[in-house]
């Protein structure tokens, strides 16, 4: 089959029907360190992409879609409009599966850049701006604020497509976002474990709450979130605080750490035995069966057991948030190290 015929058929009918057995391994594969996808130069121009250099099939093409667009290629970016984003508007893209409906089980969203108005401190709700996902197999938390370098895994085994939605409040604040969408086939070893919103494959790295480090408008982490941060395998994990820690309380002003569990400002976090209006309600992390909240973390915490995930839970309402005299609760930012079968350094 002549290459020119393949190219014409690819443009008219799509890769699935046009390409012979040799090409599916090359076509639409990531290239340029994940910044683009491999395709012919003709198709890159047809899709209004930007060439990042050469690849096996021809051109490493960077594809970007914005409001009202449709994403059909792997490693495409959902970006904010080039002109200023008007308050009181919305922006969404549809993401269609790259392969047959049964061929893709997850989509990974990488928030390369994401800077919007954060949640209201008193209510913890994203009442100004919000990012949401619709059409997925399972509910996806709504987030807002500053979320650079965060990510999400979206379950789509039974979905034909999903929609990524950004809703903007009525104000003149500058917003921008750049979200890379990666489709993960069902046979891939890169699939996240079940029920994991975030998945960390490296032996060490940083985990942090959504909207961490954004103090605009006394902002904080969103409330009414429940999700798991998972690791590649169950290991003994060592955690170290690398930024202000405040869940349900403002961070310790002196920046002190707790030397042992008894030094933590709160050991219960959420009173599950009481249902009245005065019950204790604080956001917390669950690590090796222990709840962590309050104004500081341990100087260094090593799990007693091998763990495969860390849970985060923020209630619908949180005590102290109606007191505007308080500093915002910063959330968490922790460095993790896991080294299965070897000593932690």
In this structure, the answer to whether residues 171 and 205 fall within a common structural domain is no
Say if 102 falls within a structural domain.
yes
Alpha helix (H) residue ranges in the chain = 3-13, 15-18, 41-46
CB atoms within 10 A of CB 158: 11
- pLDDT value, residue 58: 85
Separation CA 21–CA 271 (nearest Å): 59
Q: Residue 111: beta bridge partners?
A: 150, 179
| pLDDT for position 259 | 66
The predicted pLDDT at position 257 comes to: 67
On whether residue 238 sits in a domain, the answer given is: yes
Q: What per-residue confidence (pLDDT) applies to 32?
A: 80
Mean pLDDT in consecutive groups of 10 residues from the start of the chain, 345 residues: 38 36 52 82 85 87 92 91 76 88 89 92 89 97 96 96 94 86 92 97 96 76 96 95 88 67 71 60 93 89 95 90 68 92 51
Q: State the CB neighbour count (10 A cutoff) for residue 221.
A: 27
- The predicted pLDDT at position 264 comes to 72
Residue 277 inside a domain? The answer is yes
Same domain, 228 and 252: yes
Please tell me what DSSP assigns to residue 261: G
Q: Are residues 212 and 152 in the same domain?
A: no
Residue 345 lies in a domain: no
Instruction: Name the domain boundary from 62, 90, 112.
Output: 62
Tell me which residue has tokens 């949640």: 119
- Report the pLDDT value the prediction gives residue 33, as an integer from 0 to 100: 78
Tokens 């002190």, residue located = 256
Number of domains in the chain: 3
Angle at 74 between CA 70 and CA 80, to 5 degrees: 50
In a domain, 315, yes or no: yes
207 and 178 housed in the same domain: no
Instruction: Identify whether residues 330 and 210 lie together within a single domain.
Output: yes
Q: What is the pLDDT of residue 83?
A: 72
240 and 136 assigned to the same domain: no
Q: Which of 171, 117, 175 is nearest to 143 (CA)?
A: 117
**Domain hosting residue 333, numbered range:** 198-338
In a domain, 182, yes or no: yes
pLDDT at 2: 33
Q: Per the domain annotation, does 304 fall within a domain?
A: yes
What is the structure's pLDDT at 166? 96
The reported pLDDT for the residue numbered 46 is 83
Distance CA 261, CA 267 (A): 8
Residue-wise pLDDT tens digits, 6-40: 344 343 334 433 333 334 444 567 788 778 888 88
pLDDT at 341: 64
How many C-beta neighbours within 10 Å does residue 104 have? 21
pLDDT of residue 250: 77
pTM score, whole prediction: 0.84
Predicted pLDDT of residue 162? 97
Quick one: 136 and 112 in the same domain? Answer: yes
Same domain, 117 and 104: yes
Question: 175 and 110, same structural domain?
Answer: yes
70 lies in the same domain as 57? no
Question: Does residue 121 sit in the same domain as residue 206?
Answer: no
pLDDT at 11: 37
Residue 118: inside a domain: yes
Query: CB atoms < 10 A from the CB of 145, how many?
Result: 26
CATH number for the domain harbouring residue 279: 2.60.120.290
**What distance in Å separates the CA atoms of residue 71 and residue 64, rounded to the nearest whole number?**
8
Same domain (yes/no): 55, 159: no
Domain boundary, last residue among 162, 190, 218: 190
């Amino acid at each position: 089959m002549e290459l020119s015929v393949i190219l014409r058929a690819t443009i008219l009918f799509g890769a699935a029907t046009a390409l012979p057995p040799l090409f599916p391994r090359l076509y639409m594969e990531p290239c340029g360190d994940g910044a683009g996808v491999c395709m012919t130069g003709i198709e890159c121009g047809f899709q209004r992409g930007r060439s990042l250099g050469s690849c096996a099939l021809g051109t490493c093409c960077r594809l970007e879609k914005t409001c009202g667009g449709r994403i059909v290629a792997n490693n495409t970016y959902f970006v904010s409009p080039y002109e200023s984003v008007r308050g009181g508007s919305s922006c969404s893209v549809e993401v269609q599966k790259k392969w047959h409906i049964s061929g893709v089980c997850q989509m990974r969203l990488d928030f390369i850049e994401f800077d919007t108005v954060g949640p209201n401190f008193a209510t913890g709700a994203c009442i100004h701006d919000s990012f949401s996902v619709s059409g997925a197999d399972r509910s996806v938390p709504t987030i807002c604020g500053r979320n650079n370098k965060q990510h999400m895994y979206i379950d789509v085994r039974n979905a034909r497509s999903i929609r990524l939605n950004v809703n903007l409040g009525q104000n003149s604040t500058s917003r921008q976002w750049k979200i890379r969408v990666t489709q993960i086939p069902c046979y891939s070893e890169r699939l996240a474990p079940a029920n994991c919103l975030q998945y960390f494959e490296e032996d060490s790295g940083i985990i942090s709450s959504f909207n961490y480090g954004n103090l605009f408008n006394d902002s904080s982490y969103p409330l009414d979130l429940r999700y798991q941060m998972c690791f590649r395998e169950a290991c003994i994990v060592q955690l170290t605080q690398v930024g202000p820690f405040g869940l349900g309380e403002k961070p310790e002003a002196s920046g002190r750490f707790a030397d042992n569990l008894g030094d933590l400002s709160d050991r219960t976090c959420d009173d599950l035995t009481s249902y009245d209006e005065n019950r204790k309600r604080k956001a917390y992390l669950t690590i090796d069966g222990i709840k962590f909240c309050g104004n500081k973390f341990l100087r260094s915490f090593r799990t007693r057991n091998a763990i495969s995930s860390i849970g985060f839970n923020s209630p619908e309402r949180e005590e102290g948030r109606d007191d505007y005299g308080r500093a915002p609760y910063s959330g968490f930012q922790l460095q993790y190290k896991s080294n299965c079968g070897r000593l932690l350094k």
